[in-house]
Amino acid sequence: MSTLLEIENDAIRLPPPPRTPRTLRVALAGCGTVGGELVRLLHHGAAEIRARHGVRVRLVRVLVAHRGRPRPAELDPALLTTDLDAFLAEDADVVVEAIGGVDPALRIARTALGRGRRLVTANKALIAAHGPELALLARRHRGRLDFESAVAGGIPVIRALRDSLGLTGIARVRGILNGTTNFILTRLDEGWRYADALADAQARGFAEANPARDLSGEDATDKLRILAWLAFGIRPDALVLRRRGIDPDPERLAADARLLGGAARLVAESVETESGVVAAVEPVIVPLAGPLGRTRGEENVVLIESRSNGGITLSGPGAGGGPTASSLLADLVRGAGRLARPAAEPPVPVNDTREHRWALSVVRTIHAAGVLDRTLARAGVPTSTVLADGDRRVAVTEPVGWQRIDLALRVLGAELLAPVVSRVEVSV
């Protein structure tokens, strides 16, 4: 039945008549992979948006860098402009920023929020660099800043941290925050060569033409800074963070993980310790059966541990235009409420001095294992085993702090080419 009757206190009551849809005027900055997909979602989902949210979304202006590039068939070409000033002057209720980077995104954000408008953005670099400033600007001018789509694509992790879990005492946020590297590492698990895996990721729209920010861990770092801000109240630019990506040799990284019986994943983690909050983005060899090891392809996963609510796991697609645009649309029609106010005295960000086990991989001659052993011994780093696989030697250290392993790497680099290091969380 299309009309439902509600029964309350033995009386039959008809539902209220449908609301007259309110028009929401939207200015969109950027019409590439994400912005273009948002245009399509707005067009094809218009009826459902009106029915569910009582809103008629109307695009009033679309800012692009070049008019001549292919655009979605659903987009009226008359809405396009390359004039930033004209775009900023447009009378809009909501400004959606899907350009990326900081310039001109920061100017767009400051202008929109300074005029009391809502800003919806998928720009993790912008929020990581200027999030607290923009949040303050939104509160001061009664605007609103929504950025659910800036982290983990279609996973509602931002809303979980600042709304559902904001007062539960977050202890740790950990996960896979970059779909591109996870897709590549999964392909390497399946026996692909790195060049072919990267080309496949680019063909599917998961990787940019220049994937450097993904491979180096910079993209995941921006996202982790945002999550640590929401979880612990630490300004993104103040977080002390150790970063290493899956380069320079992803194939050897994946091979090391297979030799040790695990899976290589680029893991982002921020933890509150007795000394303060520590953070890292780095390759980790994780158990195959664990939540990180089971995460395949472009999927992202975030594990949130709180002192009063236990742990929850959020997972879903984390790369590509569709998931990000869907999250933008959700923020656009629903809004995600106010930003949680950080604690008056947030924890202090500190270097990670916890002791971990590490895998150090070298490739050279039959003498590589001996050189590796001597180098680690000089640095005072004990090893539990050295495994051999062809010309590759992999040493697994007993638990030691990062500073000691870093010293070993510096010495090692002088004698052997391109050592690969990853944190080890599997039993060896």
State the DSSP string of 330-368: HHHHH---PPPPPPSSPPPB-----EEEEEEEEESSTTH
Q: What is the largest CA-CA distance in the chain?
A: 87
At position 207, the amino acid (one-letter code) is A
Contacts of 100 (CB under 8 A, 6+ apart): 30, 122, 123, 125
CA distance 125 to 222: 6
CA nearest 90: which of 35, 28, 151, 146? 28
| Annotated catalytic residue within 117, 162, 213, 223 | 223
Neighbouring-strand partners of residue 119: 95, 145
Q: Give the H/E segment covering residue 243.
A: strand 241-243
CA distance 411 to 391: 20
Is 124 catalytic? The answer is: no
Q: At what angle do helices 402-413 and 368-378 cross, to 10 degrees?
A: 130
Strand order in the sheet with 144-146: 80-81, 55-63, 22-29, 94-97, 118-121, 144-146
CA distance 174 to 269: 4
Nearest-5° Cα angle at 426, 422 to 428:
100
Q: If 0-12 CB within 10 Å is exposed, 13-18 middle and 19+ buried, where does residue 38 land?
A: buried
Neighbouring-strand partners of residue 62: 28, 80
At position 159, the amino acid (one-letter code) is R
* DSSP E strand stretches across 38-116: 55-63, 80-81, 94-97
For residue 202, the Cα-to-chain-centroid distance in whole angstroms is 18
CA nearest 283: which of 191, 421, 418, 385? 421
Instruction: Report, as residue numbers or ranges, the catalytic residues.
Output: 223
